[in-house]
Copies of this chain bind each other. A is one copy, B any other.
Amino acid sequence: MKYCSDCGQSIVVQVPEGDHRERYVCAACDVVHYQNPNMVVGTIPLHHDEQGQPKILLAKRGIEPRLGYWTLPAGFLENGETSSEGAVRETLEETCAVVENVAMYRVLNVARTNQIHIFFRADLPLADFTTTPESTEVELFAFEDIPWRQLAFPTVHKTLEDFIDEYHQGQFTAAMFDIDHHSWKVLDI
């Protein structure tokens, strides 16, 4: 941030009176421009095939970051929507899939990138989906076929691991975890 979005004059970095952190402050109009973490919301679309086998819908990223890696459908929460509404919208936008019965499952702090990721469990009753501008491939994966070494983000990895564990246990529990990016090795595809 170099210029004040209110008045167009130059920004200085300083600790405002009564504050304890450096902020972007307008030297002309004194407005403080706070920078805060962003929310990423997505779903774990669960489909049961004709044999009753559980499968999860993943999308291969057609855009950066992590182009070419597989992800759960997810994206930035927009103003004016709830996090579950955002997760359902992102799933539709990225895979054309319509999910139902969303329930909060994993809340993941990614402090290094100033993000909070929330993934919702979701039912995918119909195996209707397709590629989109954001996803070059969209595919249902049986648990044993999840492309673990080609996943886009550590939050997706953690969410899928926990989901499959708890699916086998027969009970899902919503929980929060911190993700240390440095401990997650970026693997080649």
A-side residues, CB < 8 A to B, are: 1-11, 18, 21, 33-39, 76-85, 104, 107, 109, 111-112, 114, 116, 118, 133, 173-176, 178
Contacts and interface: CB of A to CB of B under 8 A. Distances in A.
Contacts of A21: 78
Contacts of A109: 82-84
A133 B19 CA distance: 11
A7 B18 contact: no
The 6 closest A-B pairs by CB, nearest first: A3-B8, A82-B109, A104-B176, A79-B114, A1-B5, A174-B174
Contact of A176 (B78, B79, B174): B174
State how many copies of this chain the complex holds: 2
A84 B109 CA distance: 9
A37 to B, nearest CB: 5
A27 to B, nearest CB: 13
Contacts of A83: 107, 109, 116, 176
A175 B174 contact: yes
Given A34-B76, A36-B76, A104-B175, 12 more contacts: A2-B7, A2-B8, A3-B8, A5-B11, A8-B10, A35-B79, A36-B78, A37-B77, A37-B79, A79-B114, A80-B111, A104-B176
A164 to B, nearest CB: 20
Given A34-B76, A83-B176, A2 B3 contact: no
A31 B10 CA distance: 18
A116 to B, nearest CB: 6
